[in-house]
Structure 1
Amino acid sequence: MLSSSVLAERVGWCADLVAGMVAELLATHWNATDVDVLASGEDYGGRRLPSNACVALRRLGWTAEPPEGVRVNDRIVRMAREQAGRVLRSTEWRADLTAGVLKAWPADPAKRDAQEWDAVRAAVPGGQHLPSSVIKARTRQITAFLRKHGRMPADLFEVESVPRVARMLLLSTCDRQQATIERADGPGRVLLRLQLPTRPDPQSYRDWTWVACPITLPPTVPADAALHLPTLRPHQGSVRADLPHTHPVPKTARTGHTVALGVDWGLNTLLTAGAVRLHDDGRINALGAGGMFRAAGVLAKQHRLRRLSEFLRAKADQYRRLTAGDEQHALAAKHTVLSDEIAYVSARRSSLNGALAWAAARWAVDQAVAAGASVIYVEDLRSLEARGMGRTINTRLSQQVRGQIVDRMRHLAAEAGVAVVTVPARNTSRHCPRCLTPLRHRKAPDRPTTPGWKWAICPTSRQHAPRPGDAGHPPPPDPRGRRESVRRDTLTRTGGGCAAQPTGTRA
């Protein structure tokens, strides 16, 4: 019997061996020529490369050896090749993006005109549908290199150094001689068997022994799902297993939707959703009043952690300037402590963002399932650039995890057979959803003449709304206690017409 700490130690020894070989492979082939060869899909003889990265690297003759005197089997080397191949293949897109930005370098990197935007999008593969924020981020990266070295970089591999290697074991690349997985006797229990070293530097195959690891499945894994070999990750004295599984799900339809769920983004109210039904004659009726996903507490904690992270980073930068790289300086120890605290706060922020993204996506999918919707429409705000709303609101908008929420929403909706469609956000807040008349955006419903972005007022309501004081329509109460200050265009038109309504956040 092995304790959890001993198991984590032995998995960590194996992960260190794999990470060392991965780092060697990346350092050897971190150049444009090798990355282009791997991304081309053909070897040096013109033959097609296999889809598995480990087999493709072996075909190309790219391999890594363990440290001298250390004995590992071919499955350990295969895991190292697979991890390195995945990293190198994912580099091709960033290399093409950097090459396109360098080719269409603007006269003023801080601000491109319309022609320069067209030029850079034409130079980047798939640039027509690429968010502008991605191009701007790559431009800032190249500008920082230019400021530091006084020249333009040749390619991505001058701008970025060899990436860090994650400590993990990709058991999916192994066969039964290295790892097996099968369901145990009890429900929700599986047994993972794998070979692990008994010392950090195994000298022979006798230093590798089989270890049986019982795993309890979470309730999200169906009982009839087909299980696959997991990815093991040492984490703070324990071992985490990313267990993939396969099970049948309903097929999503591309057309023929009659019930849809529209999801809108907000600031304090992160998501607002409403279901509608399309009739045969073209009419669209709303199903209920919709719902809101409010995560004010989580967002407040997220902003507190962000402010703490900014404070710690500013203090660490000051210590770095004072120490000037001297490890014997009196502030060097404090700088080390601050670096560890920054990593801890960053991990907390990542964990909080991940939990928020899963919760918001689950809520949206549950709303669609409850309404019987077969499709979810959500705005594509990947290129949203918050500006003009004050420093606080701009920062809060930039920190939202919209991309993660949409990715998780696609994953969860696929299990329910619901399609997810992203809609361009242009002009979605400009027209009234009922009569398509251009809206007037104001600061508050009782201040219709004050420009703002939080409330939208339909001007057609002034033509059809009953006057205050008419029979059966007394003046509505004023939020500030005065009945005479409410304007007609904030009243709801009889018969379900247009009215003032709160809007989501827009760029």
Structure 2
Amino acid sequence: MDWGLNTLLSAGVARLHDNGTITAVGAGGMFRATGVLAKQHRLRHLSEHLHAKIDQYQRITSGDDQHPLAAKHVVLTEEFRHVCDRRSNLNDALAWSAARWAVDQAIAAGATVIYVEDLRSMEAKSMGRTMNTRMSQQVRGQIMDRMRHLAAEVGIAVATVPARNTSKHCPQCLVPLRHRKAPDRPTVADWKWAICASCGYQSDRDTGAWKRIAARGLTHQAKTVTERTSGAMVIRSVVDKLEAKAVVAPTTGKTSRDRSKTGPTRPRSTRPAPRRRRAPSPTGPYGPAGKRPEGHAHTGRRRLPRAAHRYQGVTTISTPSSQHRPRGAALGAGFHLHAHATPPRWTEPAPDTTSYTGSLS
């Protein structure tokens, strides 16, 4: 197990073979608690704000219970205690959840021991005030206590190893790694992605770290001691002779199957098969209902539109043949079945201007 900043835990499985080689089984996994850590961060800001206000009211009141701000000081003190209780409960739930996940991963892999970085050997230098605060808020000590408790129930040992250079050196050749921002951005310096210029190994920083921790723990098994006060299993120091053997064998590709030719080669067309249906679709019933037949719709219309069957005249948008059905333009017959357009002028007879003409008498 490796402690991460945003993922909290990164874990994987390594196996020590009879010939002394160490291999990694699978790519490992990560325990992410981004939402819980964000809520924990907000509660920490709130508690610091309340603590500052309480100190200010304490200086103003000077311990006088008759001061006008004394009642507000009591209310803020109670609210500060409530926020601290919420943080404590959240940390406890997070510790149990992370420990349960770690032990479940070990049970599923059939592991006999869980190797974790020794928190007391970690040096948070040159990381800044904000980074150190975030690391101290991740309840790693509580997770270790819960992990030992849960692992003891299923007969799995938990041992800590020194954390020095677990993320700095390559797990395959022990050469210092180059840390970059992402695999597709190998020229941008960052801490997330690790690349080895010697053997070509590259992976997530946390993935390489848990491989180094597993290899170090497996090669230093004889150096494991039990503390008298806590009863925890600890590897106190790293031996250079054993550390030189603490490497993870590179993963080999899949063994190729026998491809010797035993018969004629099946002919293959140079033209790829078209992506269409092999069998025609079922023929649907005639009429407006049913499925559309196979192929494209016909562009030519064999029958007249539905509105033409309603005996429309020149000036009629639509004349219903039965009772009133205001279905509008859905039938393709205009906006209303009873609407009539104004007759055009060419349909009206020309006025007779000579009917009333004659001589005056």
TM-score interval, smaller chain:
0.5 to 0.7
Q: Matched residues in 2 for 1:318 and 1:342: separation?
A: 14
* Shift of residue 453, structure 1, vs aligned partner: 2.7
Q: Does residue 396 in structure 1 map to residue 99 in structure 2?
A: no
Q: Matched residues in 2 for 1:452 and 1:381: separation?
A: 24
| 1:454 and 1:505 in contact (8 A); partners too | no
Q: Matched residues in 1 for 2:49 and 2:132: separation?
A: 18
Q: Does residue 433 in structure 1 map to residue 171 in structure 2?
A: yes
Q: Does residue 351 in structure 1 map to residue 89 in structure 2?
A: yes
Q: Matched residues in 2 for 1:323 and 1:387: separation?
A: 40
Which of 7, 24, 28 in structure 2 is aligned with 1:286? 24
Corresponding residue number in structure 1 for 2:34? 296
Q: Matched residues in 1 for 2:123 and 2:86: separation?
A: 25
| 1:379 and 1:425 in contact (8 A); partners too | yes
Partner amino acid, structure 2, of 1:499:
Q
Which of 30, 52, 62 in structure 2 is aligned with 1:314? 52
* Shift of residue 287, structure 1, vs aligned partner: 1.6
Q: Matched residues in 2 for 1:267 and 1:299: separation?
A: 10
- Give the 3-state SS of the residue equivalent to 2:8 in structure 1: strand
Corresponding residue number in structure 2 for 1:266? 4
Q: Counterparts of 1:16-165 in structure 2 under 5 Å? A: none
* Shift of residue 449, structure 1, vs aligned partner: 4.3
| 2:122 and 2:163 in contact (8 A); partners too | no
Partner amino acid, structure 2, of 1:398:
S
- Give the 3-state SS of the residue equivalent to 1:421 in structure 2: strand
| 2:31 and 2:98 in contact (8 A); partners too | yes
Q: Matched residues in 1 for 2:109 and 2:156: separation?
A: 12
Which of 323, 333, 340 in structure 1 is aligned with 2:61? 323
Alignment: residue pair count: 209
* Shift of residue 329, structure 1, vs aligned partner: 0.8
- Give the 3-state SS of the residue equivalent to 1:274 in structure 2: strand
* Shift of residue 450, structure 1, vs aligned partner: 4.2
Corresponding residue number in structure 2 for 1:18? none
Structure 2 vs 1, CA of residues 444 and 392 (structure 1 numbering), >3 Å: closer, same or farther? farther
Q: Matched residues in 2 for 1:384 and 1:277: separation?
A: 26
* Shift of residue 325, structure 1, vs aligned partner: 1.3
Q: Matched residues in 2 for 1:383 and 1:356: separation?
A: 23
* Shift of residue 373, structure 1, vs aligned partner: 0.2
Q: Deviations over 1:233-277 (max 9, x none)?
A: xxxxxxxxxxxxxxxxxxxxxxxxxxxxxx011011010110111
Corresponding residue number in structure 1 for 2:198? 460
Q: Matched residues in 1 for 2:187 and 2:98: separation?
A: 35
Q: Deviations over 1:194-246 (max 9, x none)?
A: xxxxxxxxxxxxxxxxxxxxxxxxxxxxxxxxxxxxxxxxxxxxxxxxxxxxx
TM-score (norm 2): 0.55
Which of structures 1 and 2 has the larger relative contact order (alpha carbons within 8 angstroms, sep 6+)? 2
Corresponding residue number in structure 2 for 1:503? 206
Runs ≥4 residues deviating over 6 A: none
* Shift of residue 383, structure 1, vs aligned partner: 5.0
Gaps of 5+ in 2: 210-361
* Shift of residue 387, structure 1, vs aligned partner: 4.5
The structure that has the greater radius of gyration is: 2
Q: Deviations over 1:74-108 (max 9, x none)?
A: xxxxxxxxxxxxxxxxxxxxxxxxxxxxxxxxxxx
* Shift of residue 284, structure 1, vs aligned partner: 1.8
TM-score (norm 1): 0.39
Corresponding residue number in structure 1 for 2:104? 366
| 1:382 and 1:403 in contact (8 A); partners too | no
Gaps of 5+ in 1: 1-262, 462-492
* Shift of residue 385, structure 1, vs aligned partner: 4.9
Partner amino acid, structure 1, of 2:205:
P
| 2:180 and 2:195 in contact (8 A); partners too | yes
Which of 111, 130, 146 in structure 2 is aligned with 1:408? 146
Which stretch of structure 1 is more off in the superposition, 292-301 or 276-285? 276-285
Corresponding residue number in structure 1 for 2:216? none
Q: Deviations over 1:395-433 (max 9, x none)?
A: 211211111111111111000100000001011112111
Structure 2 vs 1, CA of residues 356 and 505 (structure 1 numbering), >3 Å: closer, same or farther? farther
Q: Does residue 335 in structure 1 map to residue 38 in structure 2?
A: no
| 2:180 and 2:189 in contact (8 A); partners too | yes
CA-based RMSD:
2.1
Give identity over the alignment, percent.
72
Q: Which one has a larger percent strand, Structure 1 or Structure 2?
A: 1
